[in-house]
Amino acid sequence: MAANTVDTSLEQRWRDVLRVHARTMGEIDRVLHPHGLGASDFEVLDILVAETPEAGDHCRVQNLVGRVHLSQSALSRLIGRLEKDGLVERSVCVEDRRGVWVSLTEKGRALHAEVLPLQRSALRRMLTA
């Protein structure tokens, strides 16, 4: 197989992945918008629920950076919006003043539980067709 054919095939597969990603993120944004969330907002809440199962648990913001598809500064702004909406709380890490902890509030946990079925349903519609 010629290198050009392989490159074309890879490019097409890559574009297919991007198309599915864009359509899925758009659908998640659409179903969560009435609840004041976007797909990236939900992703952060979802990771925090998994990482901090008990009320009062917290996670370092740095641990979220590689798990969401946002730059560190965009993630920081997103967490700021979630904090302003009362969904998360931030605090400085006592052991390392450069570190920042983030934890879900009860309001954040409740909203996540409310919209989780909507997000999962959107994933099923978009990814199992």
Could you report the per-residue pLDDT of 102-114, keeping only the tens digit for each? Answer: 999 999 999 999 9
In the chain, the amino acid numbered 113 is A
3-127 sits in which CATH class?
mainly alpha
Which residues lie across from 89 on neighbouring strands? 103
SS3 label, residue 92: strand
Q: What is the DSSP letter of 60?
A: E
Which residues lie across from 104 on neighbouring strands? 88
Closest to 46 (Cα-Cα) out of 114, 128, 125: 114
pLDDT of residue 63: 85
Contact predicate 105/86, CB 8 Å: yes
pLDDT tens digit sequence for 24-45: 999 999 999 999 999 999 999 9
pLDDT of residue 103: 93
Regions in the chain scoring below 70 on pLDDT: 1-6, 96-97, 129
Contact predicate 64/44, CB 8 Å: yes
- Extract the runs of DSSP E, i.e. beta strands, from 1-129: 59-60, 88-92, 100-104
* Domain locations along the chain: 3-127
